[in-house]
Amino acid sequence: MLSVPFIRENFERVKTALAKRNKDFEPMLRQVLELDDKRRALKTETDRLLAEMNRLSKEIGQFYKSGEAKKAETLKAKTAALKEQSKSLAAELQNTEDALRELLLQIPNVPHPSVPAGRNEEDNETVFSWGEKPELGENPLPHWELAKKYDIIDFELGNKITGAGFPVYKGKGARLQRALINFFLDRNTAAGYLETQPPHLINEASGYGTGQLPDKEGQMYHIEKDNLYLIPTAEVPVTNFYRDVILDEKDFPVKNTAYTPCFRREAGSWGAHVRGLNRLHQFDKVEIVRIEHPERSYAALDEMVEHVKGLLQALELPFRIVRLCGGDLGFTSALTYDFEVWSAAQKRWLEVSSVSNFETFQANRLKLRFRDKDNRKHLAHTLNGSALALPRVVAALLENNQTAEGIRIPEALQSYTGFALID
RNA sequence: GGAGAGGUGGCAGAGCGGUUGAAUGCGGCGGUCUUGAAAACCGUUGUCCGUGCAAGCGGACCGGGGGUUCGAAUCCCCCCCUCUCCGCCA
């Protein structure tokens, strides 16, 4: 959520930058300022009335104490009218504040200057690529067929137990999952991220804190009986560790990592390209989350990008990094780099990581602040990235490394899997 | 699931209708003393909003929401959460 003072002080910049999201936000921004003007005027008037009532109440108390009941009664009559007036003013103030908040919740984050203009993923800007696309020869198998051939992922069994999008991993497939999770966690902790295990269910306040609510309500599984949500990503619980927290400047950088399963309803997004592991309702992901000083957050973003690069290089997967264009950028993000691995049998790029700087957008909702040297409070910057999401990494590993003998496991992973070949 | 207790400032813990934003202790910060430190002593120490160049002034906040009252941390109602005991249980 953007803050009103920020919009007020940077109106032109905000307006221009938001236009990259292919919508004219100027009317909403103007309305924000109008509502805020109204809010402030009402607040001033309400406070004046309340001050008057407080003063009278004190006088009444004094009169009762000194036995001057008659004078007290006279004043009481006076307060009745004031009370009516302040009540209706307070109600109007509340309505104005609600309307303002409602409006602010609909305005997305301001894209960073480097975000390219564009409508969809085709307009994303490739900023880096690495590795050679493998030559697989005749009739390479897509990963869902390889999974069946080696009996390592059972989609039908998942259908039976739960439904589509909930695969069962078996044997070397299950072991590969565990290996990847441990490999990622080890690399992340070696890079200074604190390993954590957050809950997999979150409450409403946490959903609002990171921006899943209210805009993505339908994307999360909701347990109505207890009003809890299954996490769509570890970003939600981990970032919410810092909700309502005031850090000290010297606490920076705050670096956390967590492995969690992720649950997404993916309502209405099923189609031709979602076979196999490409899109699931439940999948595993290791996440990195950082809280940073505003002056350091873009350097931190670069560090995270470098870190994720290292992971994919260790896995010997050809990949590219794209900078998301305005039309593809998430609601809460100021700048996002997506990592896409080459899936050799599908002949497609598959997104395996999304690394973003949210600047103060989440921190404002989270009330996540820090004290500077002069003891002044400022909103912190939040960042996160996948390091990494498993299913599409597995898809690419299976497809790219298929040989006549079996599926070759990259060297870096072998000490984790305990085998070099899936056969 | 059953029964009970409780949610107050960074923490501990008073207050239970009227200068109480809140005693006291601990912690934090500043100072005196000291070669330095500790101890001791003195002072200071919440958040948000409005207003103001500023000093300041005003308002709100004692889990959340509503109510009673001229006046609520204190009384009433609803909700949430935590703890203890019993039951069940990885």
Whether residue A113 lies inside any domain: the answer is no
The answer on A362 and A246 residing in a single domain is yes
> CA separation (Å) from A240 to A114, A245, A253, A387?
28, 9, 16, 19
Tens-place pLDDT, residues A3-26: 999 999 999 999 999 999 999 999
A354: annotated active-site residue: yes
Confidence bin at A244 (pLDDT 50/70/90): confident
* CB-contacts to strand B (7 A): A 40, 43-44, 46-48, 50-51, 53-58, 60-61, 64, 76, 79-80, 83, 226, 369, 377
Q: Say whether both A238 and A386 belong to one domain.
A: yes
CA A208, C1' B85: Å apart? 36
Give phi and psi for A337, each to the nearest 5: -110, 125
Residues A228 and A325 in one domain: yes
pLDDT in tens, A65-83: 777 878 888 888 888 888 8
Say if A214 falls within a structural domain.
yes
The domain in which residue A80 lies consists of: 4-104
Same-domain pairing of A255 and A370: yes
Whether A68 sits among the annotated catalytic residues: the reply is: no
Same domain for A255 and A140? yes
- Cα–Cα dist A288/A313, whole Å: 18
For the whole model, what pTM was predicted?
Answer: 0.92
Q: Lowest mean pLDDT: which of A59-63, A112-116, A289-293, A310-314?
A: A59-63
* CATH code where residue A95 lies: 1.10.287.40
Beta bridge partner(s), residue A351 = A340
Given the residues A21, A39, A187, A264, the one annotated as active site: A264
Q: Last residue of some domain: A77, A104, A131?
A: A104
Global ipTM: 0.85
What is the mean pLDDT of the segment spanning A252-267?
Answer: 93
Question: What CA dihedral angle connects A399, A400, A405 and A406, to 10 degrees?
Answer: -50
Which nucleotide's C1' is closest to A75 (Cα)? B70
Mean pLDDT taken over chain A: 93
Q: Is the pLDDT of residue A151 over 80?
A: yes
A296 is catalytic: no
Nucleotides of B under 7 A from a protein CB: 18, 47-51, 58-60, 70-71, 81
The answer to whether residue A88 is catalytic is: no
Number of domains in chain A: 2
A110 lies in a domain?
no
**Do A86 and A232 share a structural domain?**
no
Nearest in space to A249 (alpha carbons), one of A382, A383, A376: A376
CATH code where residue A181 lies: 3.30.930.10
Residue A87 and residue A420: Cα distance in Å, rounded?
Answer: 74
Domain boundary among A104, A132, A149: A104
My answer on whether A33 and A182 are in the same domain is no
Q: Which residue has the higher pLDDT, A204 or A256?
A: A256
Q: Same domain, yes or no, for A142 and A186?
A: yes
Q: Is residue A114 part of a domain?
A: no
Q: Give the lowest-confidence range in A249-263, A269-283, A340-354.
A: A269-283
> Is the domain of A12 the same as that of A94?
yes
Report how far residue A222's alpha carbon sits from residue A267's, in angstroms, rounded to the nearest whole number: 13
In a shared domain, residues A92 and A165: no
DSSP state of A402: B
Which of A104, A133, A156 is the last residue in one of the domains?
A104
Residue carrying structure tokens 């990171």:
A210
Q: Which of A187, A279, A320, A369 is catalytic?
A: A279
State the pLDDT at residue A136: 86
A243 part of the active site: no
Q: What is the pLDDT of residue A269?
A: 64
Q: Which of A187, A320, A392, A399 is catalytic?
A: A392
Residue closest to B51 C1′ by Cα: A44
Q: Is residue A410 part of a domain?
A: yes
Do A137 and A259 belong together in one domain?
Answer: yes
Exposed (0-12), middle (13-18) or buried (19+): which is A44, by Cβ within 10 Å?
exposed
Residue A423 reports pLDDT greater than 70:
yes
Average pLDDT over residues A220-249: 90
Q: Indicate whether A205 and A95 sit together in one domain.
A: no
The per-residue pLDDT for range A400-420, each reduced to its tens digit, is: 999 999 999 999 999 999 999
Mean pLDDT of A376-392: 94
pLDDT at A357 over 90: yes
